[in-house]
Amino acid sequence: MSSKLKVGIVGGTGMVGQRFIELLENHPWFEVVAIAASPNSAGRTYEEAVSGRWKLASALPESVKKIMVKDASKVDEVAAEVDFIFCAVDMKKDEIKALEEAYARTGTPVISNNSAHRWTPDVPMVIPEINPEHLEVIAQQRKRLGTTTGFIAVKPNCSIQSYMPTLHALNDFKPTKVVVTTYQAISGAGKTFADWPEMLDNVIPYIGGEEEKSEQEPLRIWGSIEDGAIVKSELPIITSQCIRVPVADGHLAAVFVSFEKKPSKEEILNLWKTFKGRPQELELPSAPKQFITYFEEENRPQTRLDRDIEKGMGISAGRLREDTLYDYKFVSLSHNTLRGAAGGAVLIAELLKAEGYIQPK
């Protein structure tokens, strides 16, 4: 019998669900034992359910091919087989909220890739290197849900992972104003070029809902806990534009920032080089050893060359220089379906296990 925690993936046939399958193959702590999806996929083997729909370059792992896909709405049936679940379903927001709370009430921890609970006051929205202390609100959430072991924790929007870490490393200088433009890959929409040929030789200057997320979600992550709820920070003031570009994977951000106390360029570079968070301290399996990598070359980071740094879990930065309107400007890059989606959620799960929030049932 495996000593690994038993994992269910709810929404396992979509692109992010497929990334979970890929990342969890041979994971030292976790093992996929259940996969759930829509009624259309339920009752078939996972291999049959994703036939003609497998979107990753890697081969479908042998270990999951014969797993029978369950109906995600049959909560008790799925929950009975697992210690916790990852959730990456494509449903209406109110339906996702109800589904995730139903799983949590069975005593099952839920690590969500969805946006539905990102603003629920007692649900932590976590980038493990930045705000691990927000996990403390889980105690209050469990009281509300009437469970001693279940809860929901969520991963933030993929776009903010490209620039939040580089800003967070400079928090001692108190960023006050941020302007950011993100250049976002098509996989952020769950697409490949094969099923979205309109993106070839094209740029779309609008992504629904992304700019509000890019401006507001960092403030919640930088927020404080008051009376069992997370209260968002007032600063920095962030304004953004989010643009879809013809790139398979990787979100690039162009950032302008002003500080209450302006650091030197040398101070910034040293903080980026030395920054470590709780995942690095705990040596979690998915944690990048070097969280932020700075490139001295004028033409780096580049999406295709640098998105896979630290197995897609690191952040790349470059082109740091003083600005005429703001204190500094730079570019930074993250892999949107690894650090920004499934990989980030796996790292949250590792942190939750290490801190005692997820245990065998």
Positions marked catalytic: 158, 251
Question: What secondary structure does DSSP assign to 93-131, as a single string?
Answer: HHHHHHHHHHHHHTT-EEEE-SSTTTT-TTS-B--TTT-
CA distance 180 to 11: 31
CA-closest candidate to residue 294, choices 257, 332, 245: 332
Question: Which residues, in sequence order, are CB contacts of 74 under 8 Å at separation 6+?
Answer: 36
Torsion of CA 329, 334, 340, 344, to 10 degrees: -110
At residue 47, φ and ψ (nearest 5 deg) are: -60, -45
Residues forming a β-bridge with 343:
none
CA distance 155 to 5: 20
User: How many alpha carbons fall within 13 Å on the CB side of residue 335?
Assistant: 22
Residue 157: CB atoms within 10 A of its CB come to 25
CA-closest candidate to residue 319, choices 328, 302, 309, 331: 331
Residue 15: CB atoms within 10 A of its CB come to 22
